[in-house]
Amino acid sequence: MTEAKLISALNEENLSHFSKTYVPSRLLLGPGPSNAHPEVLKALSLNPIGHLDEAYISLMSDVQELLRYTWQCNNRLTLPMSGTGSAAMEASIANFIEEGEKILIAKKGYFGDRLIDMATRYKAQVSVMEKPWGEAFSYDEIKYEIETKKPAIFAIVHAETSSGVLQPLDGIGDICRKNNCLFLVDAVTSLGALELLIDEWKIDLAYSCSQKGLSCPPGLSPFTMNKRAEEKLSIRKTKVPNWYLDLSLLNKYWGSDRVYHHTAPVNMNFAIREGLRLIANEGLENVWKRHNTNASKLWNGLESLGMELHVSEDYRLPTLTTVKIPPAVDGDGFRNHLLGKFGIEIGNGLGELSGKVWRVGLMGFNSSEENVDRLLNLFDTELKKFSIFESSTF
């Protein structure tokens, strides 16, 4: 027996104890992913076909049309990028910033920091305007910074998952156009769940993810860009430094030519088509209303239990609620208890809010009255068991 065969035989013997893949049942009420819709999971399990098959090419067109509806735009270049939401975030930086160009980033949480990190890596001249985690920017603050800094791109997070803030976007597109800069929006925690009007709000570039409002597993990142963005891309002086995310190449695959670029995750596109179809069948305005109604029920219920919410109601994010952990409560202990005993996940705080808040997500398929009632009941009956001091109240 050769050495190579001996090693192979030993590995087979040692690895034979592995059983079939098992995943415990979970209700994901954290910052994401959320649970995929059962119909989406059925679509995901369909037999793969070739990524240049005529049937798949037809499905690609369906996905693009449904995405335009969900984005509320008519942008030609609208597609689901292969990769999680951070892939489309990076594509937005890699394609539209050249070395030395100025980008103004409005930072009010963790994902503003990620935009800053990416822009720095692509050697942009980065300017930052900042708010505490839990506050939103005013129209006048944004107007002043754009008019003063004169950036090539202004970037802001619509729904900040780390802090639970929903940023108003009305009027910002007009300011950007008057100052000849592109308007870039992170819609990772808002697309398919909250009002988002790409064309009406004059947003030039936007990206999201598949695993939150679209009720799909993680793996795709919806992206859209308008003609203003296309024009900027067309006059680049240098090649896009990221081959995989180069939109001039992806355009040949997702555009009319359907020229091979990479092996697409076909089953994920089966899934996102189904998730988008379900949104279209429910109707966007009904989807938005459902998310707002269930969030209000959660907020009122938590406050009636004596809990304090981190963000004022004016800027509170319906898809992701930040709940302050009472001083007398073992926050990690309670969170782990919900997961271990009841199979329910809520999130810890992120970044500077770590250990200070829980993050409760109601996104896509998971935004239901039944889930809100179940969670509120557990806060009512179980939280008191995790008081550090027996006599403490909160």
The residues that bridge with 183 in the sheet, in sequence order, are 154
Residue percentage of the chain with pLDDT more than 90: 88
Same domain (yes/no): 131, 232: yes
pLDDT tens for 90-147 read 999 999 999 999 999 999 999 999 999 999 999 999 999 999 999 999 999 999 999 9
pLDDT of residue 6: 60
Same domain (yes/no): 363, 375: yes
Same domain (yes/no): 273, 290: no
Give the end of a domain, one of 214, 246, 281: 281
The reported pTM is: 0.93
pLDDT tens for 233-260 read 999 999 999 999 999 999 988 887 888 8
> How many domains does one find in the chain?
2
Is residue 13 scored above 70 in pLDDT? no
Same domain (yes/no): 333, 258: no
Find, among 185, 220, 217, 236, the residue nearest to 75 by Cα: 185
pLDDT of residue 257: 81
Same domain (yes/no): 83, 100: yes
In angstroms, the CA 309 to CA 166 distance is: 14
pLDDT tens for 136-163 read 999 999 999 999 999 999 999 999 999 9
Q: What's the rounded mean pLDDT across residues 340-359?
A: 96
Lowest mean pLDDT across 2-16, 232-246, 333-347: 2-16
Same domain (yes/no): 307, 185: no
pLDDT of residue 9: 58
pLDDT of residue 388: 75
pLDDT tens for 194-220 read 999 999 999 999 999 999 999 999 999
Question: What's the domain range around 354?
Answer: 27-32+283-386
Is residue 48 scored above 80 in pLDDT? yes
Lowest mean pLDDT across 14-18, 91-95, 142-146, 267-271: 14-18
Same domain (yes/no): 225, 363: no
Same domain (yes/no): 252, 381: no
pLDDT of residue 18: 80
CATH of the domain at 264: 3.40.640.10
**CA-to-CA dists, residue 6 to 12, 204, 252, 391, angstroms:** 10, 59, 48, 65
